[in-house]
Amino acid sequence: MRCARFASGLLANIGSLGLAAARPDDYAGVLSSVANDDRGGEKLRDAEKAAFGYTHLDLAAAMMQDWSIPRLFCEAVLHHKAPSQSGLDEESRHLRLAQMLHVAGIIADYCVAPEGARVQALQALLDAGAPLNGEVDHVIALCDRVGRDWMEWSSMVNISAQALPPTRDVLAQLREQSGQ
């Protein structure tokens, strides 16, 4: 099961690659039209729907289904950008997996955020809700671990990556900015 969740995370945005490969000029136009999307990708999905009749999430889920990946994972990928708006049963495995993929994406955004946007990215992560449930120490540990792993992996494949400051330091900046 762990391997299937990991694969789902890797495939979660494969629809973007599919659109870029099949319609590179059209998709480049869509991406440039939403370059400053600050609504968690909602604007991108709206632009994709308008341009193609479906979103990169629809395409990712369809591709996964075509590859005989179980429905649980296909639905989680389909809804991972906005799990709270999915209509999935609150107690379902589908929703829990979509929430985990959602949080994983926000952790990735935090880890690659430029220094000036890192505090805001951490706030978005803390606001993500389930499955984190306000467990700040857990969030800190996850971010620090992902940051360390990213540095290790990037050196193995010769990709330039910038080390993250300790998440506790970023949290202190966040609290200072918000007056807590």
One pLDDT digit (tens) per residue for the chain, 180 residues: 556 566 777 788 899 999 999 999 999 999 998 877 655 578 889 999 999 999 999 999 999 999 999 998 898 899 888 888 888 888 888 888 888 888 888 888 888 888 889 999 999 888 887 667 778 888 889 899 998 998 898 889 998 888 889 999 999 999 988 876
Q: CATH assignment of 1-112, given 1.10.3210.10, 3.40.50.720, 3.40.50.10680, 3.30.559.10?
A: 1.10.3210.10
Q: Report how far residue 139's alpha carbon sits from residue 143's, in angstroms, rounded to the nearest whole number.
A: 6
Tally of CB atoms within 10 A around 162: 13
Whether 77 contacts 8, CB under 8 Å: yes
Global pTM? 0.79
**Domain spans of the chain?**
1-112, 117-180
Q: Report how far residue 15's alpha carbon sits from residue 67's, in angstroms, rounded to the nearest whole number.
A: 13
Share the mean pLDDT of the chain.
Answer: 86
